[in-house]
Amino acid sequence: MNCELRKWSMSDAPELARLLNNRKILNNLRDGIPFPYTQRDAEEFLSSTLAADPTRTFAFAITAGGVLAGSIAAFRGGNVHFRTAEVGYYLGEPWWGQGIAAEAVKQLCRYVFEETDILRLFAEPFARNAASCRVLEKAGFRLEGTLRSNAVKNGEILDMKLYALVKADFCRLPNSQTLTVRSMRQEDAEPAALLWLNANQTAHSFIPASYWQENFEAVKEMLPQAEVYVCREEESGELLGFLGLQGDYIAGLFVREGKRSQGIGKRLLDHAKSKKTALWLNAYQKNEGAVRFYLREGFRIQAEGCDEATGEREYRMAWAASHGETPAEKEE
């Protein structure tokens, strides 16, 4: 879902109070926010935020469909860290799992790096908060380390993760405006086949590399004849990923190493969804990242089985544009 960042207004107080009066949200934030969270608390926050130095605090309301969905801000450091800023954010529970947080972080990064002299943004989510870590990764942040026993929250000693994005790296991230998704052409076959080989070897380390190498030539020959969509960066012409279809079956979705968690796989999958009313695939159970990705994109696990070629356990997963039959159900 698309979102927008805008300046806060005192009129946001009632909705902010409803949004933040939730222990599930507060349990992943730093201390200092009262619970229950009342409209008076919201008004005090808004008054303080609106009075803050705009060269040191970059704070925005996150909206989705014109409705308040959350909060995001970057806070400039001091002393020798005056050109770094720490990022913090949260979403109201009704807005979780819709891609809004990652998009909001991207928009904040763009604003800070283009409108200020900040050189580095960083965030320190609790290590247990896998969803927040994933948000940062999707926005292009790099994991720099684990801060062991770095916090005490609700009486529990917690590790934290240190993620950062520097301006130089941000300028090299693919911009969705410069990415093109189109049907495969003959000249795409060689780089796509090499991407297929590399991606399978890195994502499926539990399968001998020789298995993929033995199938490389057959895949390279088959790709130009299949229904394949590639994602290329317009300016450089670099092939960043591709998706192959056999009818409603997703034969594979691959993204170049170093370009993952930047929305390229989702862009390819959305393109396939725009052409089909239903899709299905098989995913190795040990490839937990892929399974999570497809679940997040609306696929359901329908069955478990075994891949005869490798002996690995796999899930059959399916997606449908409506709540009608999925293609896997039609087969049976």
Structure tokens at 183: 């049907």
pLDDT digit string (tens) for 24-57? 888 888 888 889 999 999 999 999 999 999 889 9
Query: Which has the higher per-residue pLDDT, 332 or 305?
Result: 305
Cβ-proximal residues to 30 (8 Å cutoff; 6+ apart), any chain? 88, 151, 153
Q: Does 262 score more than 90 pLDDT?
A: no
So what's the pLDDT on residue 30? Answer: 84
So what's the pLDDT on residue 211? Answer: 92
pLDDT digit string (tens) for 68-127? 999 999 999 999 999 999 999 989 888 888 888 888 999 899 888 888 889 999 999 998
So what's the pLDDT on residue 88? Answer: 92
So what's the pLDDT on residue 329? Answer: 39
So what's the pLDDT on residue 175? Answer: 58
Q: What DSSP character marks residue 40?
A: H
CATH 3.40.630.30 domain residues, the chain: 4-170, 176-331
Name the average pLDDT for the chain: 87
Neighbours of 10 (CB within 10 A): 10
Cβ-proximal residues to 278 (8 Å cutoff; 6+ apart), any chain? 248, 318, 319, 320, 321, 325, 326, 327
Mean pLDDT confidence for 142-162: 90
Query: Which has the higher per-residue pLDDT, 332 or 215?
Result: 215
So what's the pLDDT on residue 174? Answer: 62
Q: Does 327 score more than 60 pLDDT?
A: no
So what's the pLDDT on residue 322? Answer: 63
pLDDT digit string (tens) for 180-197? 889 998 888 899 999 999
Q: Before 36, cis peptide (omega within 30)?
A: yes
CATH class, domain 4-170, is: alpha beta
What whole-number distance in Å separates Cα of residue 288 and Cα of residue 285?
6
pLDDT above 90: percentage of residues in the chain: 47
- CATH among 3.10.129.10, 3.40.630.30, 3.10.580.10, 3.40.50.720 for 176-331: 3.40.630.30
So what's the pLDDT on residue 325? Answer: 39
pLDDT confidence tier of residue 303, bands split at 50, 70 and 90: very high
